[in-house]
Amino acid sequence: MQKKSDKFLDKLVKKDYNNELEKVLEKKYFNENTKSILLSILYKVETAYKDYEKVKQNVKDKEAFIQSIIDSVKNNCNDIKVVKLNAKESRILGDKTFLVEKTKKRIICYPIERKLLYCIAKISKKEKIIKNDYFVINKTLSDLINVGNNIDTVEPMRDFNGFSWTTIPREIESIYHNIVYQNIRILVGYEFLDHWIQNTEYIIDYFESFKNRLEKQYGEKIQERFVELLNVISVLLAVRYNQKLKGELQKEKREVESKLRKIDDNQKFVQEITKEKLKLTKEIKRMDETLNNKEMLQKEYEKRNEYLPVQEKIFSVRILSKMMADEREENLEKIEKLNGLLNPHKFVDYKKELEAKEKYLKFLDTKDLPKAIDSVLIRLQKVFLLGYQTKIKKISTKSELMKLIYEFRYYCLLPIDDKKSIREMEEIKSQMKKVEMSLLKKAQELKLIDVFSNEKEIDYQILKNIFYVRVINLEDLYIKLIKENDSYYVQLFDENVFEEKMPIQGIKNLNKKDLTFKMNKKVKVFN
């Protein structure tokens, strides 16, 4: 682990990332166009990262973020082909904009910088980051978090240009994955998520740690509700967007349903177990004979290699021996498990296990997927907002609260579709208001924001707009109250630049005595 003093020195001695990337690229056989795009990506990320870090708050520091991009190119990309739209090489992409082949460490992509950065993030990921013990979601939740993180990696370059913060929804690979990923990141922090995604072994059960972390910070009820909805939406998103994974789940669903049907007929179930044990016993006997006979082992080696593709061929008879020994142990374990199923107590446990698997697999039969996803997403946001209320209650300093205000403002402006952001979701508006009022109340208690009106609703209507404006530095925000015809408006300014004019809802006649500041005068929002 890097010492604090080392991190401090790193900040003093600014790294030349371009030079570092160029050294990596010298050892790669990428064409000049590809190298140029990679260097451009790095430049744009470095230029934009300060604003990105300010707006989002809970993110990696710039050095670690850029280093992760360079390391991914260095360690995971042997071949990056950037192809033009009508070039012959583009045919391999079909109707896609990129292709990532992890086994070959190869990326094929159109010359779109944000797409190439997405590929670089994607190629570094393990397919599963959750232990196999968690059937179904070990695949679906792994997929959701990985896709969400890929989208998250592109964000500094996609939405920030060194001057402004602009989000174009159609440029986000999946709005649903992004929202859910940001929910998780905000609740448990980027650092925990980063460790989870980068984990190469299953020594630590990160899914269990995730649940424990949620429970410790937000309570058992919120943890249980959030995790259950997260599991469900991960399955629904996999079924809708990941055809390969959908196929795997459909196969598993058929197997689970078949096993449940057999369980219902006890006599048939016992016969099936006996038949399976006999089959496994014969296979173990064949393996023993093969492993103890050189000629039979050589024939087995040739037979297995005959139909395997080049990249999957077994390199030697010695490796085959080790593989068969492992297969033998697996078969013995299967026999032991089958014997256990004849025990009444273990039979009950087995049935419960199958029913638990069926619980999530049944979502493969969902008819109206978009509607189902929207429904679960709304419920997930309601639980998320309950958790955020808990987060606010624990804040005790101005600096901590300012971070939460930035964080919640970021959340409010996450796109929910091509036209709307989360703050415009009718189904959660009442809860959004409660969170906003809690943040503003806490800010006034800590003297971070002054009271702008003695009437609570008017005060809220004036100040709520700080959560809806895309000013980079909220500390530089000014506010002005104006009247036009019979309506009142709040104007927001970033220093001297006019940003937004928003109507004050539901207020027809505003008594100046209810205000603590003068109308038509710019007032600084944060103290």
Residue 462, judged by CB atoms within 10 A of its CB (0-12, 13-18, 19+), counts as buried
The stretch 21-46 carries a mean pLDDT of 91
Q: Are 239 and 249 in contact (CB under 8 A)?
A: yes
Is the pLDDT confidence value at 200 over 50?
A: yes
Characterize 295-317 residue by residue with b for buried, 16 or more Cβ atoms within 10 angstroms of its Cβ, and e for exposed: eebeebbeeeeeeeeeeeebeee
Q: What is this structure's pTM? A: 0.82
Question: Which CA distances in Å does 297 have to 285, 316, 486?
Answer: 14, 11, 92
Is the pLDDT confidence value at 13 over 90?
A: no
Which residues make Cβ contacts (< 8 Å) with residue 482, sequence separation at least 6?
488, 489, 491, 501, 519, 520
> 284: closest CA among 318, 320, 331, 319?
331
Q: Are 171 and 160 in contact (CB under 8 A)?
A: no
Q: What is the pLDDT of residues 379-427, one digit of tens each?
A: 999 999 999 999 999 999 999 999 999 999 999 999 999 999 999 999 9
Q: What percent of the chain has pLDDT over 70?
A: 95
Q: What residues form DSSP beta bridges with 453?
A: 515
Residue 49 has which token pair?
């990262």
Confidence class for position 46, pLDDT limits 50, 70, 90: very high
Cα 250 to Cα 236: distance, rounded to the nearest angstrom: 13
Only one residue has tokens 């739209």, namely: 85
Q: What residues form DSSP beta bridges with 503?
A: 489
Q: What angle separates helix 294-306 from helix 266-291, to the nearest 10 degrees?
A: 120
Q: What is the pLDDT of residues 470-522, one digit of tens each?
A: 999 999 999 998 888 888 889 888 875 666 788 887 777 777 788 888 888 88
The stretch 162-179 carries a mean pLDDT of 94
Confidence class for position 9, pLDDT limits 50, 70, 90: very low
Q: Are 117 and 69 in contact (CB under 8 A)?
A: yes
Is the pLDDT confidence value at 8 over 50?
A: no
The stretch 287-315 carries a mean pLDDT of 86
What's the pLDDT score for residue 72?
A: 95
What's the pLDDT score for residue 267?
A: 63
13-22, 24-33, 258-267: which is most confident: 24-33
Is the pLDDT confidence value at 430 over 50?
A: yes
Is the pLDDT confidence value at 376 over 60?
A: yes
Cα 357 to Cα 428: distance, rounded to the nearest angstrom: 31
Only one residue has tokens 């896609």, namely: 96
Is the pLDDT confidence value at 5 over 60?
A: no
What SS3 class is residue 478? strand
Confidence class for position 351, pLDDT limits 50, 70, 90: confident
The domains of the chain are located at 15-124, 268-342, 395-524
Q: What is the pLDDT of residues 81-122, one digit of tens each?
A: 999 887 777 788 888 899 999 989 999 999 999 999 999 999
More confident residue, 357 or 460: 460
What SS3 class is residue 126? coil
DSSP-derived pairing of the beta strands 106-109 and 98-101: antiparallel
